[in-house]
Structure 1
Amino acid sequence: MTAAVRAELRKLFTTRLWWGMAIAVLVSGAAFAVLFAFVFTSDAVRGPQAAAAPRTDAALAKAVFTGGLQVGYLLTLAIGVMTIGSEYRHQTITATFLALPRRGRVMAAKVVSLLVVGALYGVLSLAGAVGAGTVVLTSKGVAPFADTSIWRTLALSLLVLGLWALIGLGAGILIPNQVAALLISVAVAWIVEPLLGLVLALTDWGKSISPYLPSRATSAMLESTSSGFDGQPVHQLSWWAGALVLMAYAAVMAGLGTWRTLRADIT
């Protein structure tokens, strides 16, 4: 199993993809942290009319440090899709299964490697966000580490990126065409599903469903405040419930993908 995980990691780290993604994650984390720090500490946003804005130093620090993850988890989602999609596209999946005929072990190795990669990109994202965000927040008189719960949020950020990578793995298997899988996955995760959550939040029955969507579960894990079309904060799960929901999505997607891979004919 160790050799299989090492082989999967080598597939990623011997290409230019990983460091290109690493630079994007690091820069986006720092850029969003600086942007949100200036926006959330402005008098207009901190005023009484901004009901959905973070009001305490701890909430403000969490929003600033995790702002870049909105882009970060899209990148790990794409990596998850390409981890398996590129193998089918270039037909290297045949050589992979010939080298290690136990498909279940191959898929388990891919799952473990994606969790490792997600954690790595999470560290890079947080390094940029915490470094840049702390400078701006401190200059604005905010104590970013006054509450110990910030460390839990930072740790959960690493899990978020790994789980979204597993969701991408399942999408890459269930949608045979790699390009289509990338476009559909990113469009659904970035546009369709968040908009659906906002629409559902407008109805009485939808308010009980929207917190269980992936993006809302992610926000709950990071304890970031979400607002609806009316600008008011929407109901969301507790951080541990959001973690369970997102883990369930990742388990279902990766499980369906593994099940299909175990049963599919490979030529």
Structure 2
Amino acid sequence: MTPAIRAEFRKFFTTRLWWGMAIAVVLSGAAFAVLFALVFTSDIARGPQGAAVPQTDADLAKAVFTGGIQVGYLLTLAIGVMTIGAEYRHQTITATFLAVPRRGRVMGAKVLSLLVIGAFYGVLSLAGAVGAGTLVLTAKGHQPFADSSIWRALALSLLILGLWALIGLGAGILIPNQVAALLISIAVAWIVEPVLGLVLALTDWGQNISPYLPSRATAAMLESTGGGFDGQPVEQLSWWAGALVLAAYAAVMAGLGTWRTVRRDIA
């Protein structure tokens, strides 16, 4: 298994993709942190209209530091899709399976390597967000590290990016065309599913379903305080329940992808 994992890392880090993504993750993390810090600490946000704005320094710091994760997990989702999609598109998957004839071992190596790669990008995102966010919050007179829940949110951010990479891996296998898999996955994760969650939250029966959607589980892990169309806070799971739900999505997608890969004929 170790040589297979090492090979997956080598495939990824010997391309231009990894540092291009790294730059995007760091910059987006820093940009969102500065944006959220300025907006949440403005006089308008702290006025009567700012009911959904974090009210404590701890909640404020978590919202600022993890704001870029909403973009970060889309990037790791794309990485998951391209990790397997590129191999099928360029037919390098044949050489991979010839080098390691046990397909289950190859897929296990991909799963483990993607978890590490997702966490790696999480560290980069948080480095940009915490660095820039701390400067703005401190300048505004707030305490960036008010309690231990902030460190928990930062640690869970690393897990979030790894799990979304696995979701992308499954999508890249289940949707044969790489370009289609990339577009569909990002569209669903970024637009369709979050909007669906907000719509469901407006109905009596949908309120019990909405918290279990991937984007809502992600928000629950970060303990972010989102609002619905009516401006009222949306009910969500506890952070640990959100982690279990998102892990279940990742396990199902990666599991289905692995099952299909093991049974699929390779040209």
In which range does the TM-score fall when normalised by the shorter chain? over 0.9
Point out where structure 2 has 5 or more consecutive residues left out of the alignment. none
- Residue 146 of structure 1: how far off its partner (Å): 1.2
Give every structure 1 segment of 4 or more consecutive aligned residues whose post-TM-superposition deviation is greater than 3 Å. none
Separation of aligned partners in 1, 2:81 and 2:46: 39
Amino acid corresponding to residue 160 of structure 2 in structure 1:
V
TM-score, with structure 2 as normaliser = 0.99
- Residue 48 of structure 1: how far off its partner (Å): 3.0
Task: Give the match for residue 210 of structure 2.
Answer: 210
Alignment of 1:1-267 (within 5 A): 1-267=1-267
- Residue 47 of structure 1: how far off its partner (Å): 2.0
Point out where structure 1 has 5 or more consecutive residues left out of the alignment. none
Separation of aligned partners in 2, 1:85 and 1:155: 29
C-alpha distance after superposition, 1:134-170 (max 9, x if no partner)? 0000011110101111000000000000000000000
C-alpha distance after superposition, 1:94-132 (max 9, x if no partner)? 000000000000000000000010010000000000000
Amino acid corresponding to residue 250 of structure 1 in structure 2:
A
Separation of aligned partners in 1, 2:207 and 2:44: 28
- Residue 53 of structure 1: how far off its partner (Å): 1.3
Figure out how many residues of one structure are paired with residues of the other and give that number: 267
Separation of aligned partners in 2, 1:165 and 1:250: 8
Amino acid corresponding to residue 106 of structure 1 in structure 2:
V
- Residue 49 of structure 1: how far off its partner (Å): 2.6
Amino acid corresponding to residue 30 of structure 1 in structure 2:
A
Q: Is the 8 A contact 1:5 1:109 kept in 2?
A: yes
Tell me how large the CA RMSD over aligned residues is: 0.5
1:228 counterpart SS class: coil
- Residue 257 of structure 1: how far off its partner (Å): 0.2
- Residue 90 of structure 1: how far off its partner (Å): 0.3
Amino acid corresponding to residue 61 of structure 2 in structure 1:
A
Amino acid corresponding to residue 249 of structure 2 in structure 1:
Y
C-alpha distance after superposition, 1:164-207 (max 9, x if no partner)? 00000000000000000000000000000000001001101111
Separation of aligned partners in 1, 2:224 and 2:131: 19
C-alpha distance after superposition, 1:223-250 (max 9, x if no partner)? 1111101111110000000000000000
C-alpha distance after superposition, 1:59-109 (max 9, x if no partner)? 000000000011000000000000000000000000000000000000000
Amino acid corresponding to residue 152 of structure 2 in structure 1:
R
Separation of aligned partners in 1, 2:253 and 2:45: 38
Separation of aligned partners in 1, 2:37 and 2:146: 16
Identity percentage of aligned residues: 85
1:52 counterpart SS class: coil
Separation of aligned partners in 2, 1:2 and 1:118: 18
Q: Is the 8 A contact 1:51 1:233 kept in 2?
A: no
- Residue 50 of structure 1: how far off its partner (Å): 2.0
- Residue 32 of structure 1: how far off its partner (Å): 0.2
